[in-house]
Amino acid sequence: MAAAPLLRLSATSSLYKKNIMNKLHSTEILLKQNSKAVKVVVLSSTKTLKKNKSFFEMYKFKANYGQAVYSQIDNTIFVGSNFVKKQKSMDPFYKLDWYHLGAITAKCLNKINANSAELRTYNADFPIEDFERYVLGIMQASWHYDEYLPEDSKKSTAYSLYISDDLIKSMGKQALIKSIDKIKSLDNSIRLVRTIVNEPPETLHPYTAAELIKKTFSTKRNVSVKIYDEKWLDKNSMNGITFVGRGSRYQPRLVHVTIKPKSKPKHKVVLIGKGLTYDSGGLDIKIGGNMKTMKMDMAGAATMFGVARVASEISLNNVEVHWLSAFAENMIGPNSYKSDDIITTYSGQTVEVFNTDAEGRLTLADVLSYATTLNPDYIIDAATLTGAAIVALSDRFTAVMGNDSDLVDGLVGSFQEESEPSVYVPMPESLRSSVKGEISDLINTSKLDRQAGHITAGLFLSHFVDQNLFRNSKVKIKKPREFAWAHLDIAGSAYNNGNNSLGAVGATGQSVRGLLNWLIKLDSK
């Protein structure tokens, strides 16, 4: 009998072959009435609906935000949108959240087993952006990662959503058609993000990730995709990526996606996402159950994948968008990199490894420096970088850091408009010395040990967007400069471990909407 092969690289069905975009459920939005469908009425006051007065009284329905009741006689779900501020604390996210209201609506629809609904009436002031958030909220809340469940226990529901005439009139048919295209693109893309974050590491690894990205953009004429393999990475001194990925049987890949507008762009943006398809910690192995969920360590890359996909579909006019992600697996084996290794990064700066579990910043270092060679106006990275971000800010908030206040403020504002919790976190210069090395330029942990690990990680990254610090003669720099850069630590916000009752356990898809909002605003500048 022949010995079993040691390395079965195609041990599982490839994600690429599964054609996941076809398998994902899809809610349809129709611009017509349907008298048989459940009506969904969003209202901020019960005054206008006098005929339902006794029903509302019976159920104590006051149209307050979060309230929802179903009237069987009218076959109508009433959803309240009147936000009454009760809390005294300063919380910019304590406000009306249309996306969340969509989730509440989906819950109601599921309760009465409805899979079609007609959005019939509305608040007089229902801006189209809120309509988008609301409908997207319904669509996302009804999606679950069902891939591995039998048919009869799948939780996802695909609805047919009918848009009533009065809504069409108030928003305008043309605007609505455009808006629906955007909603669909966002819905598909966020489902893609959530799917691949939830996908097990033996299915989604650097090779399948690269294949999936190539395939996703292959039909889009305004997009080019380049995939660089381990040989290219080695030849181009991308040693941060190479060292981290070395212990895995799946060698690392660098993905570069470019989306160009039809005419000459006014702005160039590079989006970067941490793409650790699995983070075992490496030789400094994760213990005490901390390894579980580390399939999500590529959520930064997935997020930027989602943003890039929407950007490629809604066609921005003035922004050239680049997405860069290094995909790697941080594993244990004879080839693994070690604590004590000193890595000469792509920038030429050296880093002594103090902990193989602080791997994300090593891969990001190379990608950030490579991004500067594209000479962009802005660099934004998203990364599930530190447990410290969760300890400091809970698992809801994205920590937003950076070196450019306009960029950072703009991002926090864009997230806030989408009700995606994020906070600006300063990176005090006084802490910078904590990431400096004794026998190397930098270390990959911090001398402050457990203090503000998200901030010291951010400070570490900042060295790789400043070309004044570069000393790799192979990197051609005309006039060295520091690039405008923002860093999003999404370690908490990308994944719901079960203590966030608003959404399904697992990938949240958070940040895609906020980043896209920021891009669309930049496009109009």
Residue 15 interacts with ligand BES (CB under 6 A): yes or no: no
Residue with token string 């943006």: 269
Q: How far is the CB of 330 from Zn ion (least distance, A)?
A: 6
Active site residues: 286, 361
- The continuous run of DSSP H or E covering 18 comes out as helix 15-18
Of 118-126, 203-211, 352-360, 427-435, the window that binds ligand BES (rule: CB under 6 A) is 352-360
- Beta-bridged to residue 268, according to DSSP, are 320
Q: How many CB atoms are located within 10 Å of the residue 16 CB?
A: 17
Q: How many helices (H) and strands (E) does the chain have?
A: 16, 20
Listed in sequence order, the residues at least 6 apart from 205 whose beta carbon sits closer than 8 Å to its beta carbon are: 248, 250, 277, 278, 327, 329
Of 31-39, 321-329, 349-357, 438-446, the window that binds Zn ion (rule: CB under 5 A) is 349-357
Residue (312 or 356) nearer to Zn ion, CB: 356
Scanning residues 403 to 462, which ones bind ligand BES (CB under 6 A)? 445, 453
Of 297, 320, 366, 466, the one binding Zn ion (CB under 5 A) is 297
Binding partner of residue 387 among Zn ion, ligand BES, none, CB cut-off 5 to 8 Å per kind: ligand BES
Residue (453 or 514) nearer to ligand BES, CB: 453
Q: Reduce the DSSP state of residue 241 to 3 states and report it.
A: helix
Residue (67 or 496) nearer to ligand BES, CB: 496
Q: How many CB atoms are located within 10 Å of the residue 466 CB?
A: 19
Alpha carbon distance 295, 198 (integer Å): 7
Residue 388 interacts with ligand BES (CB under 6 A): yes or no: yes
Order of strands, sheet of 76-80, starting from the edge strand that comes earlier in the sequence? 28-30, 160-163, 116-121, 38-43, 76-80, 68-71
Of 294-302, 395-403, 414-422, 501-509, the window that binds Zn ion (rule: CB under 5 A) is 294-302
Of 146, 320, 357, 418, the one binding ligand BES (CB under 6 A) is 357
Q: How far is the CB of 384 from Zn ion (least distance, A)?
A: 6
Q: Reduce the DSSP state of residue 130 to 3 states and report it.
A: helix
Of 80-88, 103-111, 195-203, 355-363, the window that binds ligand BES (rule: CB under 6 A) is 355-363
Alpha carbon distance 246, 56 (integer Å): 63
Residue 284 interacts with Zn ion (CB under 5 A): yes or no: no
Contact 435, 308 (CB under 8 A): no
Scanning residues 282 to 311, which ones bind ligand BES (CB under 6 A)? 297
Q: Which two tokens stand for residue 460?
A: 């570490």
Site size toward ligand BES (CB under 6 A) is 15
Q: How far is the CB of 471 from Zn ion (least distance, A)?
A: 27
Of 317-325, 335-343, 350-358, 407-415, the window that binds ligand BES (rule: CB under 6 A) is 350-358
Residue 347 interacts with ligand BES (CB under 6 A): yes or no: no
Q: Tell me the one-letter amino acid at 13.
A: S
Binding partner of residue 456 among Zn ion, ligand BES, none, CB cut-off 5 to 8 Å per kind: none
Beta strand pairing call for 267-273 and 378-383: parallel
Residue 329 interacts with ligand BES (CB under 6 A): yes or no: no
x-marked contacts with ligand BES along 268-287 as a string, rule CB under 6 A: -----------x--------
Of 209, 254, 362, 491, the one binding ligand BES (CB under 6 A) is 491
Q: Reduce the DSSP state of residue 162 to 3 states and report it.
A: strand
Contact 211, 15 (CB under 8 A): yes
Q: Which two tokens stand for residue 414?
A: 């864009």
The candidate with the shortest Cα–Cα distance to 386, out of 355, 414, 415, is 355
Which residues bind to ligand BES, rule: CB under 6 A?
Answer: 279, 297, 355, 357-360, 384-388, 445, 453, 491
Note the residues at the interface with Zn ion (CB under 5 A): 276, 279, 297, 357, 359-360
